Structure 1
Amino acid sequence: MSKIIRLRTLCLFLVFFVTTCTFANEDLSLWEKRLPITFSGYTKNETLIDFPALIVLEETDAGAGFKYSDFLSPPDGDLRFVADDSETQLEFEVETWDTSGKSYVWVKVPELTKDTKIYALWGKAGVVLPSFTTDGSVWDENYLGVWHMNNATDTKVADSTANLFHGTKKAVDSPKEVEGVIGKG
């Protein structure tokens, strides 16, 4: 019995270790596409620490910027965000991915000032989204719950934090979801 427990513990450790090492060792220079993102709307002198910033991705008519067709690990597996140093990978959560419209992604920016620049990366085959995109890492312990209200086909209202304070709607279509300032509300 104790051999089985030790073997299971070892397997869990190896899975965690391999996943962590894979994230730490991703060579982000191999991503084909790079889009600079600045936060021109933030004009304060204070620095925001570990701030979840909303990034809205949408194809442009000019064709020189963001294009869903450039993703090589569908639907969004090769999406990454990095700091201005082009090496520090930033944690993020995909709230909504809509290849025919706008996609909403929350990126945890380590230090947000009026001069902060980060980059969105995509265009690398054979990769998947890192585990931090679904484990609540974007939202620190000061967030008791974050509900995006974008689950029109389910009665569960998922909490994006690590607290997992999920809610339940009365029915799939009740209350009715309508467009809000940020997506559905």
Structure 2
Amino acid sequence: MSLQNTPRLGLPLLQSGQAQKHVTLNESLWRLEALVQARVLSRAVGAQPDSPADGEAYILPEGAAGAAWDMAEAGDFVVFQAGYWERLPVPVGALVHVADEDRYYRRGVSGWAALQSTFGSLQNLDRLGVSATADDSNRLSVNSPQVLFNHAGSHSRVFVNKAGSDDDAAVV
């Protein structure tokens, strides 16, 4: 049994004995063009453009409409290439730059999420290791020849707070 398409990006594969192999190869190249370092113009445009340029891509919002877009669903990645709109499969974990927001979005199992929200989830961590392993005693562990704490105002302070009056607090 031979594969017809690649498993992750769905790129058409050349088949032995296939006529017009250039058509299949060109289709794969068009898809790669759209998906490698993917960029869409918007996630908010709901009306299919009348005269799109080759390579224009969008993530469709809820209620997107147009002759070709009516067949797609909210969250689909669509690109105009070679004279027609195509829905492309975007694998989970892929990043796409959205030009009109100047933000990156990550494809998740349940849809698109701003990459910034992924970084925002780093708040209130139980422990954090930077080039080191954090543990129950050293909940922040940094292995580095230097550490910089930069200040945004007129002062830069580091506070070490004792948990109780009989406890020690030190910078060694």
Relative to the length of structure 1, the TM-score reads: 0.23
Q: Which is higher, the Rg of structure 1 or of structure 2?
A: 2
Q: With a CA cutoff of 8 Å and minimum separation of 6, indicate the structure with the bigger relative contact order.
A: 1
Relative to the length of structure 2, the TM-score reads: 0.24
